[in-house]
């Protein structure tokens, strides 16, 4: 994923005069740093729940001004990007609605999108455009210090503008993320939520679950589980180390799609469990052969580096 | 995982005069290369099912002689290491039993261990020691060309000698794997199988399952699933790309422990599924917080590199 500024498509910078970031954690601080690094806005104003986070962000230099009250942060903003866990969106929308400038654009970085439209639309005055966005990028670290300007380079940013959105507003949000190095995809919000339920939300829930199951065992000590985690479990611990508040909100805000995929997953797992119980080697082999091909396609799509043959990863 | 020969504990090389490798895929060829590279045996004899595999192995130089019939390969061997999928062990044991030299040691590299003792013991003549071994290492690649001498450096190798095993035989197998750079753990076979069911076998089954579930969806195209796999799914595709024959045999040979862990996993997943359905954010948050801590312990145990904060991995 390492890439330099040369990867960026040319955008006419600055894209915005003033951008307000509501939430200054990993995602907000990375966006702020990218805006600063590549001159995508003249001014960045930030809002966080605590003064120490604001002070750290000012010191790190990715915001020019900071406020506890999000309404204070958005008054001059041409673009507001909400970068908090999604459980806070509704209250933030209500707080900033009356303070928004006519013609302002409101966007976000949340991992589910239909809920964003439902939570924010009622609070936005006429003349303010809502362009929800989901940059599909992150790390297992949190907080303003964890951010870095290159986080979004070569990653997808999915925009889900509601039907009838102003094309000019969509184009400006698109230009901002292109300026951060992202590839843009435009999708209907509900479709986004179903795709991400499969590629992200349910995999995370499964990873959290198996790590929890392992912690509860009496037959293998926690120390042994950790010691021999190279066998496959290790990858799950990385996924299950993600931010608990963010992920709680993901599951609560994409309930329908997550439950639908989970139901299918459970059926498929039960079928394999039955094959193991009854010693049906042919069924197992056929299933494992079928799933193998998708890895090559993922690598071809440049979503994963082909693993170097000279690096040990895991065993049985 | 990169490490040089300097990491190796000193062993008196050669440990064996003649080693026979039955199976010349990733695991067997890596062991052969390590034996050659660090002079752990004077001679390596190989056996594979097809002449092209034998010819490739001779050309790559990690065996000195090769035979289709495993009995021919073991006649002079002081140590025989079976490196095939576990479904072949019983027939191999029956084939090599009468050809084994008095005082020979038989070992293997399989991912389950109680089944190995059950499958091989009946065929081994008196005076031949069985010292099952499981090097917890691998890659997603297969075949003799995929092997490399450094595969086992800094990885665990678990030995599960049956009760009453000759300590001298165990010590020699231990010395061989130390010579390959591995760390040694000695465990009861059944306990090994329960620990690995959690750290490896069930995680693999889950990864295979979710990749299969995704392939079957009508709501998201296969292309979209691949495109947005960076959200977490990507890690599962890597695990689910593992060798189908090897993994079929793992599940058939560790049925009891795998079914036990699967049952617990399903219960835990059902509890989270219910929390999502009923909007119980507190339960979700508490669970996700609890599982986060184990990641730090895995990193502390040097089973995973701490992810560099400057590298994007995944998002929601």
Cβ proximity of B116 and B190 under 8 Å: no
Nearest to A212 among B1, B261, B287 (CB): B287
Nearest to B138 among A2, A138, A314 (CB): A314
Nearest to B292 among A87, A110, A244 (CB): A244
CA distances from B301 to A54, A148, A227, B154, B295 (A): 35, 27, 7, 12, 10
Give residue B232's pLDDT: 82
Contacts of B168 (CB under 8 A, 6+ apart): none
Q: Which residue has the higher pLDDT, A90 or B223?
A: A90
Provide φ and ψ at A87, rounded to 5°: -65, -20
Pair type for strands B133-135 and B156-159: antiparallel
Peptide bond into B14 cis (omega under 30): yes
Domain positions in chain A are 5-187, 191-300
Is the Cβ pair A228, B202 closer than 8 Å? no
Cβ proximity of A91 and A69 under 8 Å: no
Nearest to A210 among B206, B287, B290 (CB): B206
| Partners of residue A148 in chain B, C-beta under 8 Å | 309-310
Q: How far apart are CA B119 and CA B252, in angstroms?
A: 13
Peptide bond into A14 cis (omega under 30): yes
Is the Cβ pair B241, A213 closer than 8 Å? no
| CA atoms in the 13 A half-sphere facing the CB of B199 | 31
Give residue B302's pLDDT: 64
Q: Which residue has the higher pLDDT, B172 or B215?
A: B172
Is the Cβ pair A314, B239 closer than 8 Å? yes
Could you tell me which CATH class the domain A5-187 is placed in? alpha beta
Is the Cβ pair A310, B150 closer than 8 Å? yes
| Partners of residue A233 in chain B, C-beta under 8 Å | 198-200, 203
Provide φ and ψ at B22, rounded to 5°: -100, 105
Cβ proximity of B252 and B87 under 8 Å: yes
Both tokens of A27, joined, read 């995602």
Is the Cβ pair B246, A316 closer than 8 Å? yes
Residue (of B174, B236, B181) closest to B2 by Cα position: B181
The nearest alpha carbon in chain B to A26 belongs to B309
Q: How far apart are CA B218 and CA B235, in angstroms?
A: 22
Mean per-residue pLDDT of chain B: 91
Q: Measured between CA atoms, how close is B168 to chain A, in angstroms?
A: 26
In CATH, B191-300 is 3.30.1600.10 = no
ipTM reported for the complex, 2 dp: 0.87
> How much is the average pLDDT of B201-215?
93
Percentages helix, strand, coil for chain B (3-state, rounded to 5) are: 55, 10, 35
Is the Cβ pair A137, B314 closer than 8 Å? yes
Q: Measured between CA atoms, how close is B194 to chain A, in angstroms?
A: 7
Task: Read off the pLDDT band of B9 (50, 70, 90).
Answer: low
Task: Read off the pLDDT band of B1 (50, 70, 90).
Answer: very low
End-to-end CA distance of chain B: 28
Q: How far apart are CA B69 and CA B49, in angstroms?
A: 8
> How much is the average pLDDT of B18-33?
98
Residue (of A181, A140, A187, A182) closest to A159 by Cα position: A187
Cβ proximity of B207 and B240 under 8 Å: yes
Give residue A124's pLDDT: 97
Which residue is associated with the tokens 């040694």?
Answer: B184
Task: Read off the pLDDT band of B306 (50, 70, 90).
Answer: low
* Tens of pLDDT, residue by residue, chain A (316 residues): 333 444 465 688 899 999 999 999 999 999 999 999 999 999 999 999 999 999 999 999 999 999 999 999 999 999 999 999 999 999 999 999 999 999 999 999 999 999 999 999 999 999 999 999 999 998 878 899 999 999 999 999 999 999 999 999 999 999 999 999 999 999 999 999 999 999 999 999 999 999 999 988 876 677 888 888 877 888 888 888 888 999 999 999 999 999 999 999 999 999 999 999 999 999 999 999 988 878 878 777 765 555 555 555 556 6
Is the Cβ pair A288, B137 closer than 8 Å? no
């Amino acid at each position: 994923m390492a890439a330099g500024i040369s990867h960026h498509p040319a955008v006419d910078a600055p894209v915005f005069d003033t951008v307000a970031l509501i939430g200054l954690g990993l995602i907000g601080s990375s966006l702020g740093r990218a805006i600063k690094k590549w001159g995508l806005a003249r001014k960045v104003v930030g809002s966080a729940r605590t003064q120490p986070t604001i002070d750290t962000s000012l010191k790190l230099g990715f915001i020019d001004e900071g406020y506890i009250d999000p309404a204070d942060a958005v008054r001059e903003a041409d673009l507001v990007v909400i970068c908090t866990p999604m459980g806070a969106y509704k209250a933030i929308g209500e707080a900033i609605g009356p303070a928004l400038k006519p013609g302002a654009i409101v966007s976000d970085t949340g991992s589910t999108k239909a809920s964003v439209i439902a939570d924010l639309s009622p609070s936005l005055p006429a003349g303010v455009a809502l362009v929800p966005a989901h940059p599909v990028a992150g790390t297992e670290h949190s907080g303003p210090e964890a951010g870095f300007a290159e986080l979004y380079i070569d990653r997808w940013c999915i925009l889900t503008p509601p039907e009838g959105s102003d094309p000019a507003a969509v184009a400006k949000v698109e230009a901002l993320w292109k300026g951060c190095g992202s590839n843009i995809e435009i999708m209907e919000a509900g479709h986004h939520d179903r795709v991400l339920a499969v590629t992200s939300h349910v995999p995370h829930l499964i990873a959290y679950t198996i790590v929890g199951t392992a912690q509860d065992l009496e037959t293998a000590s926690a120390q042994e589980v950790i010691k021999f985690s190279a066998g496959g479990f290790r990858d799950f611990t990385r996924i299950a180390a993600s931010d608990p508040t963010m992920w709680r909100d993901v599951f609560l805000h994409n309930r329908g799609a997550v439950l639908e995929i989970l139901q299918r997953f459970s059926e498929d797992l039960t079928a394999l469990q039955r094959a193991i119980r009854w010693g049906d080697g042919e069924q197992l082999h056929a299933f494992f052969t079928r799933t193998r091909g998708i890895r090559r396609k993922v690598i071809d799509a440049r979503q994963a580096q082909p693993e170097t043959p000279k690096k040990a990863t895991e065993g049985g």
